[in-house]
Structures are given as C-alpha cells and as structure tokens.
C-alpha cells in the first residue's frame, strides 16, 4: 500500500462531467489499495473570472484581498469533487489551505510554503478517507489567506507530498510527460522516462512549461518523486527525481528554446565600480526581470554590456536604459527584439567536456550566428536570430542523439 498524491489542474476539473472523470480516476487509485490525497485547482476559467472582477473594481487591488478573492475558486472545486466521491460511495473530505493548515509567508499572491501540518490529513487517511486539498492556497501565521502564484497548485501538491512523506506525487496534466524538446518542432522528440530535479529546473525555467518551477525546487529539497503524466490515459509519464548514474551517462537530456525575450546592449560603458548597479537598478525598481547578463573584458577602460529582458517589458526597459546610459556616459544603446534563446540541458555535462563546443559547431555548420553565450553547470544557452529557432532546435536534437526513442 502506497500513499499517492494526485494533482489535477483547472482544465481537468473544468465541468461537472470532467470532475466526475477525475473522481473515477481517484477512486481507481484508491481501489488499487493506495491511500490517496487529491490536490485540485479552480475550475478552468474561474480564476480568470475572479481576476476580471478585481480589475473591474479597481486598478490596484489590495494583495491581501486579491488572495481572499481568487482563493474562492478552489473552494468550489474541492467541495464538488468531494461530493462526487461521496456519491460514488467513498469517504472523502475537502480541505482548504487554512484547514490543513498549509502555512506560508505573507507575500500575498506569491507566498512561499513554510510548513504543513500532517495531523488532520493523517487521521483521515487512517480512517480510509480520500483527502481532497484545495491547491494554490495557504494561510500565513496571522490567519490571512495567501496564494502561491500561477501554477501554485503544483507546489501545493509537492509540498503536501513532502509533508506526508508520500511515495509519489502525480501531476496529471494534458501532456504525456516531459519531452526531449518541443514535439511541435521536432516530431522525433521523445518522452523522457526520468529527469533529474536540476535538469527539470532548467527545462521549466527555459520554457518547457509543465511544472511550476517552485514545485520542482520543493521536490528537490524534500526528495519528492514527481510523476508528470497524462490525465487522459494510463501511460507512464516522466519521473522527476534524484539524479542517478544512468542520467549522468546521457550528455544532453533536452533542448529548450525561448522566444519571449529581447536583447539590449549598452556600448562603451566606462568600466568602473557601481556602473552596473546604475544601469540595472532602474529596471529592478520597475519590476522588470533581467535574464542573461553578459559583460566582457574591458578595453581601454570601456566595456560593452548586453542583457535580455522579457519582450513584453522591452519598450519600457529600453527607455530606462537609454536614460541611465546617458547619465553614466556610455556611447549608446543597441537593441534587438528578434532573438531566441536556445539551451541544451543535461547533468551529464558536469562530467563530460566538449559539450558546449559541439553545440557551437552544430550551429555554425548551419550558418547560425551566436550573439550571446551563457553557461551553467548543467546548461549552455545561446542567443541567436529568432528566425533560426526551429532549425537550431532540430539540428541540436539530432546532434546530441536525442532523435530516437529513449527507454
């Protein structure tokens, strides 16, 4: 007998009929002899409807009240799912964040889970009850409702799995698992049987939007095995888990791309202490997140500084940077919105050399110019002209031997 946590997203519980389907799958897992905790999101569209109400009410809604508002969505879905399970003859009980409780900090709308009590849930499981948990929400120590940001139900599920020491946390979603790259671009892309936490972190933050990043961090911290799989069939999906030897033999696990960024370069920046701060402070004050930052060795006291920002913030960022660069006496600002970031990810990189150069060669062979490079322990990213995105992903996928079914 195992303890299984299952998480279903908003589209899986979008209608009464879909909730019935979820209930049937949950019941099947229970009938197989498992203890089951189900974490659900709000019915698809509900959260957006609530957000629209807030927007209609005022321009800058209070964050505390915003969380009170949007957390009501999960309250509806947990109640309905519990009713459904009961009508099928199962014992079931719903829990809101504060009833467990799931304690978080007080950073409304992007709160971090700090502690989960297992007492109440444990007691229910002991009596054979299926526990239905509202995702996305918790409470701070003062009893204020908090929420965990878009995709926060993933983190709820992983955190509950960690607190209850569940055997597995299943994320039931509309994809089969995690793929070596986007199958829409590379039909030969294959579903990975397993992937390490670190690789998943790089994959997720680089554009393979399967899991909320924070949930992966949580899973890594507490060693929770996360099983990303389809809610529509029983095929095994992808296990996100601790790195093992087998993983290290694979040089590159996946290829990701991101076309949502733009590049800004500040030319001939005087290379002296405090300059970078003067350039980037206005951006952070405007809540613009900067991704890659590249500063090369300086020549004659001057250097070039290049970085990427989300395309949606591009205009605003450019204006701020132009002002700042004038103040610090830089020569000028150049920018480019037509870029893409291509990354190769794999824990095998740590113990193998030549991976980066193989990437560069592969791109060069296709005549693709590399505009920026940045590396981490298990990732190499290149910024290229965005018209080459698909080509780059395809040739890299083939070059690193991913064009075949993995087992």
Where do the H-state alpha helices sit in 71-138? 72-87, 119-126
Enumerate residues 183-212 that contact a second copy by CB under 8 A.
Answer: none
C-beta closer to a second copy: residue 62 or 235: 62
C-beta closer to a second copy: residue 48 or 62: 62
Long-range contacts of 13-21 (CB under 8 A, 24+ apart): 13/40, 13/41, 13/42, 13/43, 13/44, 13/77, 13/80, 13/81, 14/43, 14/44, 14/45, 15/43, 16/80, 19/43, 19/77, 19/80, 19/81, 19/84, 20/84
- Cα separation, 317 vs 291, in Å, equals 13
Q: Is 71 in the site for a second copy (CB under 8 A)?
A: yes
Which of 4, 36, 40, 78 lies at the binding interface for a second copy (CB under 8 A)? 78
Candidates 54-62, 182-190, 337-345, 346-354; binding stretch for a second copy (CB under 8 A): 54-62
- Cα separation, 131 vs 115, in Å, equals 18
Q: Is 58 in the site for a second copy (CB under 8 A)?
A: yes
Q: Is 68 in the site for a second copy (CB under 8 A)?
A: yes
Site map (CB under 8 A) of a second copy, residues 14-53, x = contact: --x--xx-----------------------------x--x
Ramachandran quadrant class, 109 (left: phi over 0; alpha: psi -120 to 50; beta: rest): left
C-beta closer to a second copy: residue 30 or 98: 98
Sequence-ordered list of residues with C-beta below 8 angstroms from that of 28, at least 6 positions apart, any chain:
none
Q: CB neighbours (10 Å) of residue 326?
A: 11
C-beta closer to a second copy: residue 114 or 123: 123
Enumerate residues 138-167 that contact a second copy by CB under 8 A.
Answer: 143-145
Largest CA distance in the chain: 78
Closest approach of a second copy to the CB of residue 139, in Å: 9
Closest approach of a second copy to the CB of residue 42, in Å: 10
Closest approach of a second copy to the CB of residue 66, in Å: 7
C-beta closer to a second copy: residue 95 or 280: 95
Q: Is 117 in the site for a second copy (CB under 8 A)?
A: no
C-beta closer to a second copy: residue 86 or 205: 86
- Compute the radius of gyration of the chain from its Cα atoms: 23
Which of 27, 150, 45, 140 has its CA nearest to residue 91? Answer: 27
Closest approach of a second copy to the CB of residue 74, in Å: 9
Pairing of strands 35-40, 130-134: parallel
Which of 188, 193, 197, 168 has its CA nearest to residue 178? Answer: 193
Q: Is 12 in the site for a second copy (CB under 8 A)?
A: no
Site map (CB under 8 A) of a second copy, residues 83-112, x = contact: xx-xx-----xx-x-xx-------------
User: Edge-to-edge strands of the sheet including 261-270?
Assistant: 293-295, 302-310, 261-270, 332-336
Closest approach of a second copy to the CB of residue 50, in Å: 7
- Cα separation, 77 vs 75, in Å, equals 6
Going by the DSSP 8-state scheme, the letter that residue 179 receives in this structure is: B
Which of 44, 76, 168, 290 lies at the binding interface for a second copy (CB under 8 A)? 76
Candidates 55-63, 195-203, 307-315, 369-377; binding stretch for a second copy (CB under 8 A): 55-63
Tell me which residues touch a second copy (CB under 8 A): 16, 19-20, 50, 53-54, 56-62, 64-66, 68-69, 71-73, 75-76, 78-80, 82-84, 86-87, 93-94, 96, 98-99, 120, 143-145
């Amino acid at each position: 007998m195992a303890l299984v946590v299952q998480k279903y997203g908003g589209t899986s519980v979008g209608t009464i009929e879909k909730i019935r389907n979820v209930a049937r799958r949950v019941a099947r897992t229970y009938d197989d002899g498992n203890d089951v905790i189900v974490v659900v999101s709000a019915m698809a569209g509900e959260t957006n409807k609530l957000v629209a109400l807030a927007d209609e009410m005022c321009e800058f809604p209070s964050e505390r009240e915003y969380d009170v508002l949007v957390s009501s969505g999960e309250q509806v879905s947990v109640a309905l799912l519990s009713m459904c399970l009961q009508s099928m003859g199962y014992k079931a009980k719903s829990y809101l964040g504060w009833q467990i409780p799931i304690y978080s900090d007080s950073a409304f709308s992007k709160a971090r889970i700090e502690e989960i009590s297992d007492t109440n849930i444990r007691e229910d499981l002991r009596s054979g009850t299926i526990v239905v948990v509202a995702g996305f929400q918790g409470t701070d120590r003062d009893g204020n409702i908090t929420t965990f940001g878009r995709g926060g139900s993933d983190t709820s599920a992983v955190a509950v799995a960690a607190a209850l020491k569940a055997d597995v946390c299943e994320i039931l979603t509309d994809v089969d698992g995690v793929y070596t790259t986007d199958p829409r671009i590379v039909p030969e892309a294959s579903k990975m049987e397993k992937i390490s936490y670190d690789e998943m972190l790089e994959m997720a933050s680089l554009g393979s939007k399967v899991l909320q990043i924070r949930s992966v961090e949580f899973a890594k911290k507490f060693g929770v095995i996360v099983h990303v799989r389809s809610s529509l069939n029983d095929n095994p999906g992808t296990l996100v888990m601790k790195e093992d030897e087998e993983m290290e033999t694979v040089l590159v696990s996946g290829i990701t791309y991101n076309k949502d960024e733009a590049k800004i370069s500040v030319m001939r920046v005087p290379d002296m202490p405090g300059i970078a701060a003067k350039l980037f402070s206005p951006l952070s004050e405007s809540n613009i997140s900067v991704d890659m930052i590249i500063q090369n060795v300086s020549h004659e006291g001057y250097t070039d500084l290049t970085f990427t920002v989300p395309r949606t913030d591009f205009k605003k960022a450019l204006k701020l940077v132009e002002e700042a660069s004038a103040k610090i006496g830089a020569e000028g600002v150049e920018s480019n919105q037509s870029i893409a970031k291509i990354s190769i990810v794999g824990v095998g990189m740590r113990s193998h050399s030549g991976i980066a150069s193989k990437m560069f060669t592969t791109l060069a062979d296709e005549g693709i110019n590399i505009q920026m490079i940045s590396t981490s322990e298990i990732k190499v990213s290149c910024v290229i002209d965005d018209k080459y995105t698909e080509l780059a992903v395809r040739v890299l996928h083939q070059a690193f031997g991913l064009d075949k079914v993995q087992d």
